[in-house]
Amino acid sequence: MTILIRSVAVACATIAASVFTSTLAQAADISGAGATFPYPIYAKWADAYKKETGNGLNYQSIGSGGGIKQIKAKTVTFGASDAPLKGEDLDSIGLAQFPMVMGGIVPVVNLEGVKPGELVLDGKTLADIFQGKIKTWDDAAIKKLNPKAKLPSQAIAVVHRSDGSGTTYNFSYYLADISAEWKDKVGVNTALEWPVGIGAKGNEGVASNVAQTKGSIGYVEYAYAKQNKLTYTDMINKDGKTVAPTAETFSAAAANADWKSQPGYGVILANQPGASSWPMTAATWILVYKKPDDAAATAEALKFFDWSYKNGTKMAAELDYVPMPENVVKDIEQTWAKDVVGKDGKAVYSAK
């Protein structure tokens, strides 16, 4: 199955070569690499930004782990990660970190006759499925949550990420918060020793594998499920309420986030309280050097992010991402002006 990104004049020929840029892209275009979670919205923003300014964006959607490696190696102007770096890591490398947008991670399934939102799962059941403890779709735990559903005795085929992934970090963080057994036996990380399942690279790869595999379950950013018409499940949240993945439920989970409480705004939004909160809400972050070797390139990147914050909210909403609050954006841009400087000591970005 070809993964299509709506409103973007780009096709991913292969997952490994998941790069968005127009055919007119020049060597001077902004370069970045990393998280696949925000790829649909970064691609849409890049297309609109190119049309408005003539400046392109070359972004390799290779996973958060790859993005962190590339920014450390200084082969790109910015890295992108769905797993925030800790303060000591940011300081040791010399990086500034800021959240760009928020969205939701959703379980996706391939079950004949089941439509999006017709199946309900909770965190414990999801953890047991991905540990291989629940092996068939008619297991008592799934039937208890879905008493009216016609569940087959079909074996469950688990699909998970094979690459270093911030989506995996947030997904496993949620499962560990719900399940002590998951926390002890599997843990929380961007890459895991999975007890069962088939590995796939990127949100694109998981979406494609689930679409092709009968009886499968995986986890992807919601835009991938929506755009590719995958069947996503509803979830029971921390307050015991059944919620669907929507911009509203993602926003509800993020409503009380204290972004300044963590270095580099590294707040995890999984399993937040609230009757309307989606339990697997997540932010995605950008990484740039505080003292970049190429200050002009970093300045161009920050111009793109500034433009996206201010002009990209409608586009983000159309893909069911949640824009960052205006007060947080203002604080982030003040941080740019203070922390990101050229070799002359002057700020590469001026807060407006």
Q: What is the mean pLDDT of residues 326-347?
A: 94
| CATH superfamily of the 105-255 domain | Periplasmic binding protein-like II (3.40.190.10)
Give the integer Cα–Cα distance in Å for 220 and 233.
Answer: 11
pLDDT at residue 2 tops 80:
no
Report pLDDT for 256: 83
What's phi and psi for 198, nearest 5 deg? Answer: -105, 130
Spatial contact of 8 and 44, defined as CB atoms under 8 Å apart: yes
In the CATH scheme, what architecture does the domain 19-102+282-339 have? 3-Layer(aba) Sandwich (3.40)
Report pLDDT for 9: 32
Domains 19-102+282-339 and 105-255 share a fold: yes
Digit-coded pLDDT (tens) for 36-94: 999 999 999 999 999 999 999 999 999 999 999 999 999 999 999 999 999 999 999 99
CB neighbourhood size of 233 (10 A): 24
Digit-coded pLDDT (tens) for 94-139: 999 999 999 999 999 999 999 999 999 999 999 999 999 999 999 9
Spatial contact of 222 and 284, defined as CB atoms under 8 Å apart: no
Q: What is the mean pLDDT of residues 16-31?
A: 50
Report pLDDT for 350: 80
**Distance (Å) of CA 206 to CA 111, 202, 234:** 16, 6, 18
H helical segments located in the chain: 39-53, 64-73, 87-93, 123-130, 140-145, 166-178, 180-185, 202-212, 222-227, 247-254, 295-311, 313-318, 326-339
> Residue 120 has which token pair?
């309900």
Band of pLDDT at residue 210, cut at 50, 70 and 90: very high
Digit-coded pLDDT (tens) for 152-201: 999 999 999 999 999 999 999 999 999 999 999 999 999 999 999 999 99
Q: Domain boundaries in the chain? A: 19-102+282-339, 105-255
